Amino acid sequence: MAVKVSVIGLVVRQCRLERGWTLEVLSSFAGIDTSHLAKIERGEFIPHIDTFIKIAEALGMRPSQLMKKCEDEAQ
């Protein structure tokens, strides 16, 4: 199933907010630039697979779990 870029950003943002984290906290845990994460959350572009994995792991999830959440949200 193809997942829209905006859905990935929405799910990442939801997961981040559920943890009470700021963009800065998640970007630090994931080892990515805060502005890059903000663009992902706004749906401006899809993250590269390496970045997606870093975000998932920073959120304490397997990448497959994060993708499943994205697929569920898209339905």
Which tens digit of pLDDT belongs to each residue from 15-70?
A: 999 999 999 999 999 999 999 999 999 999 889 999 999 999 999 999 999 999 99
Superfamily of domain 5-74: lambda repressor-like DNA-binding domains (1.10.260.40)
Q: What is the pTM of this model?
A: 0.92
**Confidence (pLDDT) at 5:** 78
DSSP 10-51: HHHHHHHHHTT--HHHHHHHHTS-HHHHHHHHTTSSPPPHHH
For the cut 80, the answer to whether the pLDDT of residue 3 exceeds it is no
For the cut 70, the answer to whether the pLDDT of residue 1 exceeds it is no
